[in-house]
Amino acid sequence: MFPYFLATVNLPPSPDVNPIGLGFTILMGFLFLVIPRRFVLVPVTILVSFMTMGEAFQIAGAHFTMIRILVLFGWLRVILRGESRRLQWNAIDKVFVAWMVVRGTAYVLLWQSFEAINYQLGYAYNAFGFYFLFRFLMKDLDNVFAAFRPIALFAIPLAAAMAFEKSTGRNIFAIFGGVMPTTIIRDGVLRCQGPFAHPILAGTYGAVILPLCIALWWRGNKALALMGTVSALVITLTSASSGPLLSAVAGIVGLCMWRWRGRLRIVRWGMVLGLIGLHMVMKAPVWFLLARVDIFSGSTGYHRAFLIDRAVANFSDWWLVGTKSTEAWADADQHLFDVTNQYIWEGVEGGFLTLLLFIFIIGFSFQAVGRAVLAVKDKSMSVGFPIWALGASLLVHVVSYISVPYFDQMIVVWYLGLAMISSAREATLENATESTSGGLCKAATPIWDYSRLENGSST
């Protein structure tokens, strides 16, 4: 019932919550309550960057990890400080809710058990709790861009810790519990994971934050941008995983497309037609190109390609409400219980409609980035390019999902990215509306001041 990918995770048994980890989490929760709004994502970033998620309280069958505890503090802040606001619902918000409703309904219909209901309630707690918390807390572009700095800042000590792990084979984050003290070794290569549940997820985190760190250069934080960029690369490389490295390359390519942002329709259709052409001329389906990816020794590109192939071949098994097991898709020695693909995992847990809605979330998010950049009319690199970097970071997720499903603190990073894009689009849309209204809305104040943004400042 729970992600088959967990079968490969290197976690020790943890019947009790580590007191150091719990104390650290409560400290971050208190910080969440009292910190000014412009720094509100600092405790979230700290917990994501340094706290392991392998340990949890179990209350009435519900598992409360450290990051789930933090989201309680977050909503308590929203209530006590009156920071709730009327959201201008956009396509991302609506499809996000539809995705969760369809996913949960399909899963419960498939399993028809109390455990299934409990599991989906926990999934919904994470999804709605994090996504809409971030939507409430980021009311304008100042809040969105302010999140870039702590992400880059705390990447520096995380990179140093993972570099230490690479040189010694010891994971210092084991003091919090939830991860093994010794580093995973595959074909003689140390695969560092830091506080994350798996090296691939650790490397993916570095790849996801890379575009945001680079974008800080145009926000007037050149020193932090340089150190954050180097740190993000260190985090990605020390994971010794092919998927995160390729995802990082995709993110950099996405940033480079800024220069040709007006011609992306041609690029997208060119990629689609190119893949179709390759599919027609290749002896094997086009997804078997993944089998040729072996940057680091021991990469399992063939398994990922074969998994996609079997999912397509067994479409009738999962299309309606998902499937209880993927092992029957191939012989036992193919290990298809290990669903190392987020897209396939969406179909396995919720059927084709769930997968389709998940893809719609991604599609509408890319659309929101494009429209937000258009709305600011490329006023300056300090405004448009950081919004573009959110799209490049989203591209990293899209590529990474081919090789790993998220289940530890990376889900927080995913929901944060979506909320940042959604809030950026909302802010630019409101600003455009107020700008065109002229004197008809005398009481209205601009969502942001372009001159302030051009100077790289934030309130």
289/67 Cα distance (integer angstroms): 37
Minimal CA–CA distance to 217: which of 48, 459, 456, 458? 456
**307-344 pLDDT, tens digit each:** 999 999 999 999 999 999 999 999 888 889 889 999 99
For residue 13, the model assigns a pLDDT of 41
398/207 Cα distance (integer angstroms): 12
Q: Is 371 exposed, middle or buried (0-12, 13-18, 19+ CB in 10 A)?
A: middle
More confident residue, 442 or 158: 158
Specify whether the backbone of 192 is left (phi greater than 0), alpha (psi in -120 to 50) or beta: beta
For residue 8, the model assigns a pLDDT of 41
For residue 292, the model assigns a pLDDT of 81
Radius of gyration, CA atoms only, the chain: 22
For residue 301, the model assigns a pLDDT of 83
Percent of the chain residues topping a pLDDT of 70:
88
∠ Cα 144 139 409 (to 5°): 55
**367-383 pLDDT, tens digit each:** 999 999 988 875 678 89
For residue 433, the model assigns a pLDDT of 57
**Please, are residues 396 and 211 in contact by the beta-carbon 8 Å criterion?**
yes
Task: Count the helices and strands in the chain (H runs, E runs).
Answer: 17, 4
Residue 217 pLDDT greater than 70, yes or no: yes
Banded model confidence at residue 186, pLDDT cuts 50, 70, 90: confident
Residue 42 pLDDT greater than 50, yes or no: yes
Distance of CA 201 to the CA centre of its chain: 10
Q: What is the mean pLDDT of residues 433-453?
A: 39
Residue 106 pLDDT greater than 80, yes or no: yes
User: What's the token pair of residue 127?
Assistant: 């999804």
123/358 Cα distance (integer angstroms): 14
The residue ranges of DSSP E strands in 130-219, in sequence order, are: 184-186, 189-191
Residue 14 pLDDT greater than 50, yes or no: no
∠ Cα 62 201 130 (to 5°): 45
241/249 Cα distance (integer angstroms): 13
155/250 Cα distance (integer angstroms): 20
> Average pLDDT, whole number, for the chain?
87
List the single range of 3-12, 251-260, 327-336 with lowest mean pLDDT: 3-12
- What distance separates the 2 farthest-apart alpha carbons in the chain? 71
